[in-house]
Amino acid sequence: MSELTISNIVKYFDQTKALDNINVGVKENEFIAILGPSGCGKTTLLRSVAGFIEPTSGTIKFGEKVFFDNREAVPVEDRQLGMVFQHFALWPHMTTKQHLEYPLKSKQNKKRFDVAQRQEMVRHTLKLVELDGFENRYPNELSGGQKQRVALARAIVAQPKILLMDEPLSALDAHLKQTMVQEIKRIHHIMKTTILYVTHDQAEAMSLADRIIVMNKGKIEQIDTPYNLYHYPQTPFVAKFVSKAFLVEGNWEGDKFCPASAPDTTWQGAEVASYFKENKLYPVRPEELSLMTSSSTGKGLLGIVKDKQFLGRETRYMVDAVGKELEIISNSFHISEIDEKVYVTKH
């Protein structure tokens, strides 16, 4: 059974339909990333679960408890949530310890935990996020990574049932981001809380989440594991946004595909989603393609190398083939030069 159930959620801001019939069941302790381009509705969905936004219609339930339906909207403070925002949202006049004590002083938490328990929770959480020793520092005496740890600690100290995170790492540099991704994974493993995590960064979503909700224009395109999204996209948007795939035109015969521009070539595609088969397309990822300088068999898509970038571990080619530019990620050994004629094959 789903712990968090989001059913038929629609949200209009005036004429803008920010959420268009959203349905998701999140399991207990599941880590769900909400991924999509700017303006697709990620934050609106997260804030609807939090209670900061009232949907226009639909239902949000946590177990048997109704968070929102057409009769009631439970206030934010009664939903037992933790939240982490993009820009930390720390209070300059409070120390690290005071940030952690603050949520425990709410009426609800004073009822749930006695003084000794609350002190222990602060101590335990400081240790969990590795901030012991920084209790008495103010935000301006902390690094970016430490500030984000304080924000995370404040969100989890009261042991929320759901942790909501909105682009929590986007203010950090690439290296720190990587460290914090590992940290968040470690903390989720220990805390075992249900997490909804908004990001537009595909790599971040893939490395963190059990499942990813891919959104586009207020709708869900696909909900799946990172592996399945990457290997088995169900829609053109997911194929392009997640797998960076190119949609080659051609004809399907059962599970075999023949590109329109290379009649002697066949690609196997038993696992390709029905949408692509019905629309005479094959989603192919850059690393599934290879370049050959000649084709003894005449198989492969004939093309011209337009650009070549040596990236160390690999080389990225842009090849003019099938009337469009195809991206090909190859190993880093030199194969072809710009303006050279090549054959593109799929392995």
Residue ranges that bind ligand ATP, judged by CB under 6 A: 13, 16, 18, 36, 38-44, 200
Least separation, in Å, of the C-beta of 9 and ligand ATP?
12
The CA distance from 181 to 168, in Å, is 10
Query: Smallest Cα–Cα separation from 287: which of 245, 247, 258?
Result: 245
The CA distance from 47 to 43, in Å, is 6
Measured from the CB atom, is 40 or 206 closer to ligand ATP?
Answer: 40
Least separation, in Å, of the C-beta of 168 and ligand ATP?
13
Measured from the CB atom, is 42 or 99 closer to ligand ATP?
Answer: 42
Measured from the CB atom, is 52 or 91 closer to ligand ATP?
Answer: 52
Q: Give CA separation, 194 vs 2, 169, 187, 220, 346, in Å.
A: 11, 18, 12, 20, 40
Least separation, in Å, of the C-beta of 151 and ligand ATP?
18
**CA triple 21-27-31, angle to 5 deg:** 90
Query: Smallest Cα–Cα separation from 325: which of 251, 267, 246, 257?
Result: 246
Query: Smallest Cα–Cα separation from 343: which of 295, 305, 309?
Result: 295
Least separation, in Å, of the C-beta of 72 and ligand ATP?
22
Measured from the CB atom, is 16 or 251 closer to ligand ATP?
Answer: 16
Contact 2, 25 (CB under 8 A): yes
Q: DSSP for 212-245, please give it.
A: EEEEETTEEEEEE-HHHHHHS--SHHHHHHTT--
Measured from the CB atom, is 48 or 125 closer to ligand ATP?
Answer: 48
Measured from the CB atom, is 5 or 216 closer to ligand ATP?
Answer: 216
Structure tokens at 110: 């004073």
The CA distance from 170 to 174, in Å, is 9
Measured from the CB atom, is 42 or 346 closer to ligand ATP?
Answer: 42
Least separation, in Å, of the C-beta of 209 and ligand ATP?
16
Least separation, in Å, of the C-beta of 21 and ligand ATP?
15
Measured from the CB atom, is 41 or 168 closer to ligand ATP?
Answer: 41
Measured from the CB atom, is 209 or 301 closer to ligand ATP?
Answer: 209
- Residues in Cβ contact with 292 at an 8 Å cutoff, skipping those fewer than 6 apart: 300, 342, 343, 345
Least separation, in Å, of the C-beta of 198 and ligand ATP?
6
Contact 195, 189 (CB under 8 A): no
Main-chain dihedrals φ then ψ at residue 103, nearest 5 degrees = -65, -25
- Pairing type for strands 194-199 and 31-35 reads parallel
Least separation, in Å, of the C-beta of 339 and ligand ATP?
39
Least separation, in Å, of the C-beta of 46 and ligand ATP?
8
Query: Smallest Cα–Cα separation from 106: which of 78, 131, 130?
Result: 78
